[in-house]
């Protein structure tokens, strides 16, 4: 299992409850959730800590405040943080309200996000 299936199920349930049209895809070493052909968020297991992480695409505007929150980490697959993306440790999404907070940030940014170019 390359991703946290429980968190992936919680994300799916939340998006369905909000009537969001999404697609779940295995990519980037985990499970990513796409809305309008743009990555919204995802989940995977950290190779460093062997614990689950929520990967959230929140945009650069809210990033400075979001990174100050407890359990927030820069998203750095390559050793260099990706702009507008953030990791949230499991403890930061334990409660449904906490998960909803991060997913709502992702949903708010999604209409502004650029779609990746098709290969």
Predicted confidence pLDDT, tens digits, the chain (119 residues): 478 889 999 999 999 999 999 999 998 678 999 999 999 999 988 878 888 899 999 999 999 999 999 999 998 877 788 889 999 999 999 999 999 999 999 999 999 998 876 65
Work out the number of other CB atoms within 10 angstroms of the CB of residue 59.
19
Q: Are 34 and 40 in contact (CB under 8 A)?
A: yes
The residue range of the domain holding 61 is: 5-112
- Domain-embedded: residue 117: no
Q: How far is it between the farthest Cα atoms of the chain?
A: 38
* DSSP 8-state code for residue 53: E
CATH code of the domain containing 56: 3.90.1150.30
Whole-number pLDDT of residue 119? 55
Name residues whose C-beta falls within 8 Å of residue 68's C-beta, 6 or more positions apart in sequence. none
Helices and strands in the chain, H and E counts: 3, 6
- Domain-embedded: residue 42: yes
Count how many domains the chain has.
1
- Domain-embedded: residue 20: yes
- Domain-embedded: residue 103: yes
Whole-number pLDDT of residue 117? 61
- Domain-embedded: residue 46: yes
Spatial separation of the C-alpha atoms in residues 3 and 23, rounded to whole Å: 16
- Domain-embedded: residue 36: yes
Q: Are 43 and 31 in contact (CB under 8 A)?
A: yes
- Domain-embedded: residue 119: no
pTM, 2 dp? 0.91
Name residues whose C-beta falls within 8 Å of residue 60's C-beta, 6 or more positions apart in sequence. 83, 84
Residue with tokens 């070493």: 29
């Amino acid at each position: 299992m390359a991703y946290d299936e429980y968190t992936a199920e919680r994300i799916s349930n939340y998006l369905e409850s909000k009537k969001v049209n999404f697609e779940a895809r295995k990519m980037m070493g985990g499970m990513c959730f796409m809305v309008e052909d743009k990555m919204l968020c995802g989940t995977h297991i950290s190779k460093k800590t062997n614990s689950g992480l929520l990967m959230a695409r929140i945009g650069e505007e809210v990033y400075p405040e979001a990174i100050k929150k407890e359990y927030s980490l820069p998203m750095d697959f390559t050793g260099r943080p990706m702009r507008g993306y953030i990791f949230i440790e499991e403890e930061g999404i334990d409660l449904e309200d906490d998960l909803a907070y991060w997913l709502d940030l992702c949903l708010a940014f999604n209409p502004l996000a650029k779609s990746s170019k098709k290969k």
